[in-house]
Amino acid sequence: MSAGIEISLAIILLSVLFSLSSSRLMTLIKLMALQGALVSLLPVLLNSANKLPPGGIALFLIMLLIKAILIPALLYFALTRMAIRREVEPLIGYHASVVVGLGLILLATYLSRYLQYSAPGVLALMPITAITALGGGLFLMMSRTKALTQVIGYLMLDNGIYLMGTALIKRTHSHYLVELGVLLDLLVAVMIMGIILNNINRAFDDVDTLDLEQLKD
Amino acid sequence: MLESTILLPLMIGLLALFLPPRFGRVLLVATAGAHLLLTFMIWLGTPQPLFPDFFNKANPGMLVVLVTSFIFACAAPYAVFYMKEQKIRKERIFLGCMLLFLGTMSMAALAENLVVFWIAIEATTLASAPLIFVHRSKQALEATWKYVLICSVGIALALLGFFFITFSMEQAGLNQSLTFSTLNRIAPQLDKLWLKTGFIFVCIGFGTKMGLAPMHTWLPDAHSEAPSPASGLLSGALLNCAFLGIYKVHTIMALAGLGMFSSNLLISFGLFSILVAGIFILNQPDYKRMLAYSSIENMGIIALGVGIGGMGLFGAMLHLIHHSLLKTSLFLSAGNIMLAFGSKLISQCSHMPRLLPKTFGCFFVGCLGIAGLPPFGLFLSEVLILFGAFQQGRPVIAILFVLLLILVIAGFSRGALAMSFGQANDQATILIREQTSRVLPPLALLLASIMLCFWLPEPLRQTISDSIIILGGSIHG
């Protein structure tokens, strides 16, 4: 099963890089759906040796529903109401962004060596992917001006943190109900962001966060 | 059961989202009263937690839930009368979200499990976002967007911090439940490196929500754009909940023998917050933003007091209570002023003592209190923190603290005096007259703070002592 895990992780890594180079908002949403599905699948793959309890299966299905279907669908509907389809003028260009992404992978590889010392049991690619997704998400939020791209950056950051949690923590600590709460928070957060997105679109005829600079000191 | 303080406002809040506002208003005030009653009952010790692994009566949490509940009980009736004067669409959303906000804050205050606490804090962000957005102006939109995005990212980083803390437990070969009390017990065995890493992330994450500089950027926008009752709750209740997260992890750090590291980090964040707030208060033209920066300053003082320890801890807890009461009172008074003059600019307020005598009284006395002048509570707590700093052998920090306080007081009193005694416009008229129903809530909060300066009820004093003794703090140092 190890091959399946590594392939999934590699696809997540590539999806981070791809999202940094893509200007089409629709592509970004599709990438988030793919990432969400893989991130939900990973805990199942990691635990494939032992049989999953019913609670674990239910949680996996709910997570798949929220991360791979509901959230991308919400973003899709937000997008259909907007006039824009592309991120036109990113603060940092696409080629430069990919270079930053590659740099992030290097940094992540360096950082996860510390993790290897403390926890040799952890699959090497796991923290690398987690840190790259985390950093990529943060970078996307800072370097893009469309509000929708910033939401996608937040989701990627969240995926990275979740992957980090999966890499570090054994399942015995987590409680299904608690994990469900975390997921619910994420879903509601994206819903509220979607509502604000809609209102920004209506008020400014655009979702550019550069318009949002009236409040300052 | 203990959980009723959480479930009651959550359920009724969900209901109020769908009911017409005239029912929602009644529900809001009634639930606020019931919540205060339940909180008193918890303090008297009757209801026990149903799920002790998730929610429990931990000491600083009890303090926060009491403060939150009292403030909400004052802000709820005010909100009803305030909203009557404002023309807003979808008032039911506002009323429902107020209750959801109360429920999530109680959940955060009483949470015992790390991740449950995290869920509650993120939920407070989500429940309060619609409150900021009520006026639907472009500015409100911007403030809400910044609030949701910045706080969500910050809180997400705090979750990473909690993962690292869990990892530090696994590294030590321990397999215990993830509750604050368990972690306190096994703290000395935890893996030091990962615990430290975890604390840094928690500090940055919840520091964002608490408004510590340099992660405070959302705070002045959100507090100034939200309607006044919501600003009061954001400042007086929400920031305390986020502080609770930092405090609890700081306790784990101290018990693990890393107290010096976390103290120094808190002191740096604290001093820097006071400095940033002081600079921005100095020439602030907008009075709600001035109050918001003052919240950043006071959160900095609390972080500083906790970092200093000893007597400073008692000061920090006292500061938390008095700041919440006074700041909410000020925001509610500011709401009356805004209704009257129709502007948030200090320069637009003139002839306040003549035009708005009652509001003026409340606002001016509140300003004296929040500036930390004697005999108000904040003076007492600041002196305690100062003594604590000398006592713990940190004279440089004590001197820096005093200098920064002078900076803040200078800026704040300039704004407050200009507002209170401004005579810029001789023809000034007021749009909406002040009403006793909108003056009584801020007055009640103000009087509560003044009362606590002279008489600290024994259970309250005991709870403060109990919650700081674990860190080696006491009133006697």
Give me the mean pLDDT over the B359-386 stretch: 92
Interface check A147 vs B, CB under 8 A: yes
Give me the mean pLDDT over the A21-41 stretch: 94
On the CB side of A204, how many CA atoms lie within 13 Å of its CA?
A: 24
B201: helix, coil or strand?
A: helix
Helix or strand holding residue A90 (H, E): none
CB pairs under 8 A between A and B: 115
| Residue B26 burial by Cβ neighbours in a 10 Å radius (0-12, 13-18, 19+) | middle
- φ/ψ bin of A206: left (φ > 0), alpha (ψ from -120 to 50), beta (otherwise): beta
pLDDT of B266 > 90? The answer is yes
Tell me if A212 is assigned to some domain: no
Q: What is the pLDDT of residue B430?
A: 81
| Residue B419 burial by Cβ neighbours in a 10 Å radius (0-12, 13-18, 19+) | buried
pLDDT of B420 > 90? The answer is no
pLDDT of A84 > 80? The answer is no
Beta strands in chain A (DSSP E): none
How far is CA B469 from its chain centroid? 22
- pLDDT per residue as tens digits for the range B293-337: 999 999 999 999 999 998 999 999 999 999 999 999 999 999 999
pLDDT of A210 > 90? The answer is no
Q: Do A169 and B166 touch (CB under 8 A)?
A: yes
Q: What is the pLDDT of residue A172?
A: 64
Tell me if A64 is assigned to some domain: yes
B374 or B214: whose pLDDT is higher?
B214
Tell me if A56 is assigned to some domain: yes
Q: How far is A180 from chain B (nearest CA, A)?
A: 10
- pLDDT per residue as tens digits for the range B337-357: 999 998 899 888 888 888 899
Give me the mean pLDDT over the B161-169 stretch: 93
Q: What is the pLDDT of residue B476?
A: 66
Interface of B with A in 98-117 (CB under 8 A): 113, 115-116
pLDDT of B376 > 80? The answer is yes
Q: Do A168 and B224 touch (CB under 8 A)?
A: no
Cis peptide before B214 (omega within 30 of 0): yes
pLDDT of B477 > 60? The answer is no
Among A85, A46, A49, A73, smallest CA distance to A174 is for A46
Q: What is the pLDDT of residue A171?
A: 61
Backbone angles phi, psi at B213, to 5 degrees: -70, 145
Q: Do A196 and B141 touch (CB under 8 A)?
A: yes
- pLDDT per residue as tens digits for the range A36-72: 999 999 888 887 767 777 778 888 899 999 999 999 9
Interface check B302 vs A, CB under 8 A: no
Cβ neighbours of residue B306 closer than 8 Å, sequence gap 6 or more: B246, B247, B250, B263, B266, B312, B313, B316, B471
Q: What is the ipTM of this complex?
A: 0.94
Q: How far is A102 from chain B (nearest CA, A)?
A: 22
Q: What is the pLDDT of residue A173?
A: 62
B47 or A78: whose pLDDT is higher?
A78
Number of domains in chain A: 1
Range of the structural domain that residue A58 is part of: 2-207
Q: Do B156 and A157 touch (CB under 8 A)?
A: yes
Q: Do B153 and A154 touch (CB under 8 A)?
A: yes
Tell me if A214 is assigned to some domain: no
pLDDT of A217 > 90? The answer is no
Among B418, B138, B441, smallest CA distance to B287 is for B418
Tell me if A215 is assigned to some domain: no
Q: Do A169 and B163 touch (CB under 8 A)?
A: yes
